[in-house]
Structure 1
Amino acid sequence: MHRRFLLPLFLLGLLASLAGCGETPTGRSQLALVPNALMADMGEDAFNQLRNSQPINRDTQANQLVQCVAEKVVAGAKASYPGLAFPERWEVVVFEDASPNAFALPGGRIGVHSGLLRVAETPAQLAAVIGHEVGHVLADHGNERLTQQLGIKAMLLVVGLLGEEEFGNQQLMQALGIGAQLGISLPFSRTHEEEADLMGLEIMARAGFDPQQSVTLWRNMAASGGGQPPEFLSTHPAHESRIRALQQGLEKATASYRTVTPAEC
């Protein structure tokens, strides 16, 4: 239902010389032209589709853990990036899915797969994943990717190689990091992943979770995930590259962690 708004909106942005570039919270230049209110609407629509199509985990202990960690992570995000606008409330749902995934959507929605709780062995490791996913939202990665997709579609439309009806819901879902089969998390670009890793490290530290646990988490992921494709063939950083990058950011994050009260979940 958003299609008829998004494509004209993007074309208008092009005619306005793209209105310049913004910056992510880490200072990286970024082009993200879709209005935040529209991104929040799309996040709500995607989340509602997931709730209606995917089984929801009803385990009380698991839900209490995820809710506690998510609440503290959001508080840590606000402390880390006080200049950003945050949703008034965040909706958190644990989906019954064996894959070790989580995601966050614009507008304040967090989904955690039950399978992640078998890989994230401590609350701090769970905080590393949720902090990473919240980092994607705060850095407007979905908006940036959707702007890129719309730019390609708009150019094809202008030169007559694409009909407007060919741009639909699947592209919107992909931009938000949700697959064609709802509940499947799609990788963001390598740049987005690395940025969300470093933001997530600071967020979990400010939330009161030991950032050292992020390295342990990704080692667990490597052990549970089996073989990966070569790094140059994947938008996701290889596990060892991701761990090295996290280790480089640990000194700053650990200094932040030492200034707060350790979280209890």
Structure 2
Amino acid sequence: MRGFILACGFLATLAGDAAAFANNFCPGELEAALATRQKIFDEWPLRPVNDEATEFAQQLAMGLASRYSVNAGMIPWRIYLVRNLSPNAFSIGGGFVFINEGALTFAESEEELIAIIAHEIGHELAGHFCQNQRQQPAGNFLDYLLGNTLPSRREDIAHLGSLPQTIDPIKEQQADRIAISLLLASGYNPHTLLRVARRLPKDAGAHWVDSIRIQTLARLLENAPGFNDGPGSSAQFQKIKRILLNEAPVNRF
């Protein structure tokens, strides 16, 4: 009971981050997101939307959002799996989230995959794609940790193909806060988010894990309740992971 009370109290302190946005998309957000999505469709290899792995990730996202709040559950979330081996995921607004196959195979458990999705949903719920901000994909959980130092200016950007990504540490913290509350609301251990961050490879070409980001996430979780045992991985998660691991490798873009 004490853990339940702690979880409810922690959720109450975090839910305000999303409350102002979750009712509707920002003006112009959906149009910008659709244009970005089309560019991705044109340039990147994706799994079919009716693919078993894609549908599984879609169900996880919808479950997270619906347990968080009625408004978040009403957003038409759409998950796409990118045929890429790097452990990455990103959101572009309009309820569109892209997850690399490498993120799914990197996840050691279903809970870790859910933590990755929760962060990307957090960007949407925080209103990071409003018109008063530059319409570019938000900095994302895994890409930020793997490839970027803490930027000193809003103009610091990276690229995936021809798609620019702006990395904003304040937005990353906001998305992390909401991700923590999403995990708690769904009965998952919020400390999984930090575990995934710490487990990422420390050297990926010229990239390196940002210790400042990890320290910030650890501070956010200081007062969050933890759980000894999570819900575990479903048989479907294990099946899909085996399918992806046994498929022919896909070149990175």
- The TM-score, its normalising length taken from structure 1, stands at 0.60
1:214 aligns with 2:184: no
Say if 1:129 and 1:230 are closer, same or farther in 2 by CA, change over 3 A.
Answer: closer
Give runs of aligned pairs for residues 117-128 of structure 1, distance below 5 A: 117-128=104-115
What is the percentage of aligned positions where both structures have the same residue? 17
Structure 1 residue 86 displacement after superposition: 3.4
1:204 aligns with 2:183: yes
The answer for the alignment partner of 1:147 in structure 2 is 132
Counterpart pick for 2:224 among 237, 242, 250? 250
For 1:96, the aligned partner's letter is R
- Match of 2:45, SS state, is coil
Structure 1 residue 212 displacement after superposition: 3.2
Structure 1 residue 218 displacement after superposition: 0.9
Distance 2:164 2:216 in 1: 18
The answer for the alignment partner of 1:241 in structure 2 is 215
Structure 1 residue 125 displacement after superposition: 0.7
Structure 1 residue 100 displacement after superposition: 1.6
1:43 aligns with 2:30: no
Could you tell me which runs of 5 or more consecutive residues in structure 1 were left unpaired when the two chains were aligned: 1-23, 150-171, 232-236
The answer for the alignment partner of 2:136 in structure 1 is 173
- Match of 1:93, SS state, is strand
1:189 aligns with 2:152: no
For 1:44, the aligned partner's letter is L
**What does the per-residue CA deviation read over 1:52-105, in whole Å, with 9 as the maximum and x for residues that have no partner?**
2101246x9xx5345324423333223223355832x32221111232211223
Q: Which moved more, 1:173-182 or 1:134-143?
A: 173-182
**What does the per-residue CA deviation read over 1:125-168, in whole Å, with 9 as the maximum and x for residues that have no partner?**
1111110000000111122xx5145xxxxxxxxxxxxxxxxxxx
Larger Rg: 1
Structure 1 residue 30 displacement after superposition: 8.8
Task: Work out the number of aligned pairs and report it.
Answer: 203
Could you tell me which runs of 5 or more consecutive residues in structure 2 were left unpaired when the two chains were aligned: 1-13, 141-156, 238-253
The answer for the alignment partner of 1:56 in structure 2 is 46
- Match of 1:147, SS state, is coil
The answer for the alignment partner of 1:8 in structure 2 is none
CA RMSD, 1 decimal: 4.0
1:115 aligns with 2:102: yes
For 1:40, the aligned partner's letter is L
For 1:147, the aligned partner's letter is N
Say if 1:126 and 1:173 are closer, same or farther in 2 by CA, change over 3 A.
Answer: same
